[in-house]
């Protein structure tokens, strides 16, 4: 197994660790400043999430640079991305940190676009990542980090950045999904 695929697998293996850290009940004193409080397990989960999310571009870069792109990598990379985002978002819903509607929009879009990509694959075509898809990923990662860190540092300025970026992520996610389907409407059989 090449280095790029190992990095992707590492991202997958970090998912249950992050979820465990988010959902455990620990009796450790939280870190508190004035009215701001955060648990140590949230800080650790956020750090691991940042590391995992940052490996997304790294594995692809290594694979392309060293000409070691494999079918396994093509399968695992998007799977790892979706597992990471979906698992953390579902954990954040369980923690009452994000509106379930936002998570439903995000996860539904991922299933829909994955289905579209599967249809394209069956027809020997590839649905390339769009600029909106890249923006979607960046905003979702920003949203998750803001939620994991209890809106730090914006909480000190009484700015609901986490709420704003969550709804922005939902809107961009929805728009990027519609954009994929419009640009690839020829893949969708209207009659069968």
Helical spans, DSSP H, in the chain: 3-23, 40-65, 71-94, 100-122, 131-148, 161-183
Q: Is the pLDDT of residue 48 over 90?
A: yes
Strands (E), 16-99: 31-33, 36-38
Cα separation, 188 vs 152, in Å, equals 43
Q: Is 11 exposed, middle or buried (0-12, 13-18, 19+ CB in 10 A)?
A: buried
Mean predicted lDDT score pLDDT of the chain:
91
pTM for this model (two decimals):
0.91
What domains lie within the chain, and their CATH numbers?
3-187 (1.20.120.1760)
The 8-class DSSP code of residue 98 comes to: S
Cα separation, 62 vs 123, in Å, equals 28
Cα separation, 62 vs 21, in Å, equals 29
Q: Is the pLDDT of residue 173 over 90?
A: yes
**What pLDDT was estimated at residue 42?**
93
């Amino acid at each position: 197994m090449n280095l790029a695929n190992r990095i992707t697998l590492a991202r997958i293996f970090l998912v249950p660790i992050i979820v465990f850290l988010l959902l455990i009940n620990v009796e450790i004193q939280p870190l508190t400043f004035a009215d701001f409080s955060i648990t140590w397990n949230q800080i650790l989960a956020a750090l691991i999430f940042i590391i995992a999310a940052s490996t997304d571009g790294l594995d692809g870069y290594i694979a392309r640079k060293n000409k070691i792109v494999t079918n396994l990598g093509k399968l695992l990379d998007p799977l790892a991305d979706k597992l990471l985002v979906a698992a953390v978002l579902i954990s954040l819903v369980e923690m009452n940190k994000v509106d379930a509607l936002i998570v439903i929009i995000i996860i539904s879009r991922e299933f829909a676009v994955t289905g579209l990509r599967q249809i394209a694959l069956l027809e020997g075509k590839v649905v390339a990542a769009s600029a909106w898809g890249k923006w979607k990923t960046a905003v979702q990662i920003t949203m998750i980090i803001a939620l994991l860190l209890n809106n730090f540092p914006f909480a000190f300025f009484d700015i609901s950045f986490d709420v704003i970026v969550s709804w922005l992520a939902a809107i961009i996610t929805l728009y990027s999904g519609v954009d994929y389907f419009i640009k690839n409407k020829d893949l969708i059989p209207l009659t069968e």
